[in-house]
Amino acid sequence: MLQDPRRPPVLDMTPEGEFRDPAPPPHLLRGGSWLDRALLRLGGLSILAAVVVGGLVMAASAVLILGLLIPVALVMGLVAFGTLWWRARRAGRGGPATFIVLRR
């Protein structure tokens, strides 16, 4: 709750030296009107809906990214298979091909 800048704050202390909490506004002591209760319930439902929709958006994003990466992985696998097949064919051997890795 915001304090009015023209009035100084009220500090209420007990005889033991502890601070008391400020008294709640009168409309909260009665439980609020039907409009307050309705708006509170509507706000809670909207927060729940926002969390659910956020989760669905994250799940849809994951499916979209996975859908984009699967074709790339398939194409790269085919390219790798093609290069290995071509090397084995160029080697002219029926057995396993010999690969040489050059390190610099």
For 3-50, the pLDDT digits (tens) are: 667 777 777 888 888 888 877 766 666 666 788 888 989 999 999 999
- Cα 60 to Cα 52: distance, rounded to the nearest angstrom: 12
The reply to whether 79 falls in a domain is yes
Q: Is residue 46 part of a domain?
A: no
Domain span including residue 82: 56-88
Report the C-alpha gap between 25 and 46 in whole angstroms. Answer: 25
Amino acid at 15: P
Q: Full-prediction pTM beyond 0.75?
A: no
Under the banding of pLDDT at 50, 70 and 90, the label for residue 103 is confident
Share of the chain above pLDDT 70, in %: 81
Cβ proximity of 19 and 11 under 8 Å: yes
**49 vs 99, more confident:** 49
Q: What is the tally of structural domains in the chain? A: 1
Please give the helix or strand (H or E) that residue 66 lies within, else none.
helix 34-91
Phi/psi at 67 (nearest 5 deg)? -65, -30
Query: Looking at the domain assignment, is residue 103 inside a domain?
Result: no
- 81 occurs within a structural domain: yes
